[in-house]
Structure 1
C-alpha cells in the first residue's frame, strides 16, 4: 500500500465530493447489511446452534453450548493472571469514570403543583436488562467494559449482560473479565459479531434476550443492530471510530500528528482528519505523519495507512469559522480543539460526541481516564445523540395526582377540547363522573 496522506481543499470540493467525504464508513455499513441479515436470521431461528457455527466460522473457535457463558472459576483465574499494575490502573480509571457518572444519577423528582389540586412529577427506574457489546477483533478493550458497565450499574439495571468475541483458545481477555466483575456485570458470554447482537435481541437456549443493547463495534455489528432495532432498543450508533482535530497556526504540528494517529490505529474503517486554515501547519503535520506511520508495528501500521489514504487526511479551510462549520456538518465522535482561543472556538461547535480542549489532552487520555464516557455516537449521529451515560439505562415515568379540586379546575377545558377533537367518551368520563347511570356521550 502506498504511503500517503489525503489533503483536501474544502472550497474546491464539489457537493458530491463533500458528501462522500462526510459519509465515510457509513457507506461500508450499508454495504454489509445484506451479508449480516442471514446471520441474524439464523440465530433467531436456530439459537445456540447458529451461535456456535458462526463462532467457529468467523472466530476460528470451537465451543460447546456449556462453554458459551464464562464461569466463576474463569473470573477468579483472570484476576490471578492479570499483572498487579494492570489491576491497579483499571481500579484507578474505573474510579474516575464512577466519579463522573455519579453526577448523572437523578435525584428523586419533586411533585410540582401545576394547578390547584394538580400535582405532577417524574419517577426514574432502570431498564430491566441490558446487553453490553465489547469488541475484540483488533485488540482487547477492558476500557469499553467499564465505560459501559459503570453507568449501567449506577442506574441500577437488574441484569447486565456482556458479550465479547473469544480469543483463539476460546478464553476471554482477563482484563475484560476483571473489569466486568469490578463493575458489576452479571453474565459474560464468549460470542461476538453480528451473531452476538442477534442473540441478545432474540435470545437463544443459553442467552436470555435483553431490553437494550449498547456498545461499539465493527460495520457488521453496527449493521446487525440496525436489523434488530425493531425488536430491542439499540442505543446510540457506535460504529467505526472517527476523530477530527480543528487547529490553527498556534498548534504544535508534532503533537497534532501524534493525536491524529490515536483513533486511526483502531482499524482501516476509522476516520481521522485535521481541519485547519493553516497551510504551514498542514504541511508540517503531513510530514510528521509520513515519518511516524512506518514506525508503527503491524497491523496498526496498515490500519493507519488505510485511514489516511481513505477516510482520513487533512482538510484546508479558509478560516476557523469555516472549519467549525465543516466540523458541525461532520458531527464527529471525537473532536479536539487546538486553537489560540479555545473557548471562543468552543462556542462555534454544535455537533460533536466529545470536545477536548488544548494540547495536553490527547484522545487516548479521554478514551481511558478522564471520567466522561468514551462510548460516543458515530456516523454524524452526534447531531442528535449524546455519549453513553447513566441516563441511557433509565426510563422516566410521569407521576400525576389530581384531587377533586384539581378535577374541577381542569375538567371544563378538557371537555371542550375532547368534544372539539371528536372524542365523546373522553368528555363523558368527566361530565358524568359523579352521576352513575347518566352516561350519555355527545357525538
Structure 2
C-alpha cells in the first residue's frame, strides 16, 4: 500500500504555483468552465433529447448506464416505492426522519421571515412578499454511491417553500446489476410526499427537466449537484430558459485550527470531505506547525483504514487538490480561507465566535470541533448542498430561499408622495420621460384645483 506522504505548505513562503494549485483545487475550479470533448458530447446529448424526447432518454440509459428501459418505465411506479421501504433498516428510516425534521425546522424559519414590511414616514410602508416558484426539478446523483441525504437537503426546502410541482430525477442504482432507483432515496421522496420520480441518465435527465419530453415535464428551475458531465448539462440548458442553482460541483472543505484542536479529531474531519471523489479537495490551515505535523502523522493511520475507492479519492483530494497549510498569523489564515471560498468551513478553534466575523466567503461555517462536516452533511438541518469551487464568493447554499421569489411592495400616503414629488420631477426631466413627469404634474393640478376666476 502506498503512503499519503503529506507535507506542510508554508503559505508565506510558497511560490505562486503552489498557491494556485490550492486555490483552484489543482485546476478543478478552472476545468469546470473549460471547453473540452466532454462539453461537446454533452451538447450533443442535450440536442438528442430536444429532438427525440423519450427515445433519447431510453438510448442514454442503454449507452451510458447499461440499463434497458421503455418510456413507460422511466417513472418510478407504486410497486417500486412499496418495495423500497422494506429494504431499509428501522435505524436508517429513523435517521432519514430526524434529518428531514431538522431541515424542515430550519427552512420553516426562513419562510416565516421571508416576507416583511417596514413603516415609513406619514403612513408610508414598504416591504416584500415571498412566493414559491411553480416547479422545480431535483437532481440526485448516484454515480459513486447512494445519496439519499442529497434529496433531504434539496427536497425538504422545496416542500417547505411550497413549490407546486416537484420532479425528482435519479440515475440508476450503481450497484452491480442495479436497474432501480436507490431504495433509501425513494423512502426520502415518500417521506417528503414526492411521488414524481424518474430513473434517468444524469446529463440526459437534466436535459429532460429543462426541455420536457413525452413523459418528463419541463420545470422552471433545476437544483442538485452532480458529476462534471451533469454540471456541463446544467450550464448548457440555462440558455433554454430554465434556471439552474449554480456552483454545485465537486465538494471542497477547509478547516482552520489552532493549538487547542485535537489532532486525532482533525485528521478524521480532514478525511471527511476528501473521501467524496478524486475531484474533491480538502485543506487544513493553522498557525501551529507542530499541530499540522501531528495531524499528518495521524492522517496516515486513519487514511490506511479507508476502503477503496474511498482511500484513493481521499489521497487525491488531499495530496493533489488540497493539503496542510501553515499560516503566518490568524489574519493570514482567514485570508487563505476567504480566497479559497470553501463549500464547508470548520473553525476548530478555542473561540469560533471571535473568528466568524472574519469569514467573508463560505457555503457554511461549522463552529468548533463538535460541529463536524458529517453532522452538517446529514443531520443538523442547515444547508449541505452548497456552492463549491469558489462559488461561495457569490452564491449561497440550497435552502427555502432557493425556491422563493420576492415581490417588493410599497404604499405611499398622499403627504409622502408630495414629499418625493420634486425628486420624481427632476429625474423624469433629466432622463427625458414626459409621461413620468406628467404623473406628478397631473396630480398637482388636481390637488391645487382650478385657477380662481378673475
Q: TM-score, normalised by structure 2?
A: 0.90
Cα distance change, pair 173–112 in 1 and its aligned pair in 2 (3 A): same
Q: Distance in 2 between matches of 1:266 and 1:275?
A: 20
Query: Hey, what does 1:439 align to over in structure 2?
Result: none
> What secondary structure is seen at the aligned counterpart in 2 of 1:367?
helix
Cα distance change, pair 252–109 in 1 and its aligned pair in 2 (3 A): closer
Alignment map for 1:193-208 (pairs within 5 Å): 193-208=202-217
Alignment map for 1:142-161 (pairs within 5 Å): 142-161=148-167
Cα offset, 1:237, TM superposition: 1.4
User: Which runs of structure 1 show a deviation greater than 6 angstroms over 4 or more consecutive aligned residues?
Assistant: 433-436
Gap regions ≥5 residues in structure 2: 447-454
Cα distance change, pair 111–297 in 1 and its aligned pair in 2 (3 A): closer
Query: Hey, what does 1:190 align to over in structure 2?
Result: 199
Cα distance change, pair 3–198 in 1 and its aligned pair in 2 (3 A): farther
Query: Hey, what does 2:76 align to over in structure 1?
Result: 70
Of 33, 36, 43 in structure 2, the residue corresponding to residue 30 of structure 1 is 33
Q: Distance in 1 between matches of 2:199 and 2:140?
A: 10
8 Å contact 2:21–2:321 — kept in the other structure?
Answer: no
Cα distance change, pair 354–407 in 1 and its aligned pair in 2 (3 A): closer
Cα offset, 1:7, TM superposition: 3.6
Deviates more, 1:104-113 or 1:346-355: 104-113
Query: Hey, what does 2:305 align to over in structure 1?
Result: 295
Cα offset, 1:109, TM superposition: 4.3
Query: Hey, what does 2:451 align to over in structure 1?
Result: none
Instruction: Write out per-residue CA displacement over residues 320-377 of structure 1, whole angstroms, 9 at most, x where no aligned residue.
Output: 2211110011010111111233222223222111111222222111111112111111
> What secondary structure is seen at the aligned counterpart in 1 of 2:112?
coil
Query: Hey, what does 1:259 align to over in structure 2?
Result: 269
Deviates more, 1:339-348 or 1:246-255: 339-348
Q: Distance in 2 between matches of 1:110 and 1:89?
A: 35
Query: Hey, what does 2:12 align to over in structure 1?
Result: 11
Q: Distance in 2 between matches of 1:107 and 1:12?
A: 47
Of 273, 282, 296 in structure 2, the residue corresponding to residue 286 of structure 1 is 296
8 Å contact 1:28–1:219 — kept in the other structure?
Answer: no
Cα offset, 1:186, TM superposition: 4.2
Cα distance change, pair 400–293 in 1 and its aligned pair in 2 (3 A): same
Of 168, 171, 182 in structure 2, the residue corresponding to residue 165 of structure 1 is 171
Query: Hey, what does 2:323 align to over in structure 1?
Result: 313
Q: TM-score, normalised by structure 1?
A: 0.92
Asked if 1:176 is matched to 2:185, the reply is: yes
Of 221, 224, 243 in structure 1, the residue corresponding to residue 233 of structure 2 is 224
Asked if 1:39 is matched to 2:48, the reply is: no
Q: Distance in 2 between matches of 1:159 and 1:107?
A: 23
Query: Hey, what does 1:441 align to over in structure 2?
Result: none
> What secondary structure is seen at the aligned counterpart in 2 of 1:103?
helix
8 Å contact 1:366–1:372 — kept in the other structure?
Answer: yes
8 Å contact 1:135–1:192 — kept in the other structure?
Answer: no
Instruction: Provide the aligned C-alpha RMSD in A.
Output: 2.3
Query: Hey, what does 1:440 align to over in structure 2?
Result: none
> What secondary structure is seen at the aligned counterpart in 2 of 1:105?
helix
> What secondary structure is seen at the aligned counterpart in 2 of 1:399?
strand
> What secondary structure is seen at the aligned counterpart in 2 of 1:360?
coil
Of 333, 341, 363 in structure 2, the residue corresponding to residue 353 of structure 1 is 363
Cα distance change, pair 28–57 in 1 and its aligned pair in 2 (3 A): farther
Q: Distance in 2 between matches of 1:12 and 1:319?
A: 13
Deviates more, 1:173-182 or 1:192-201: 192-201
Query: Hey, what does 1:96 align to over in structure 2?
Result: 102
Q: Distance in 2 between matches of 1:404 and 1:353?
A: 45
Q: Distance in 1 between matches of 2:370 and 2:432?
A: 63
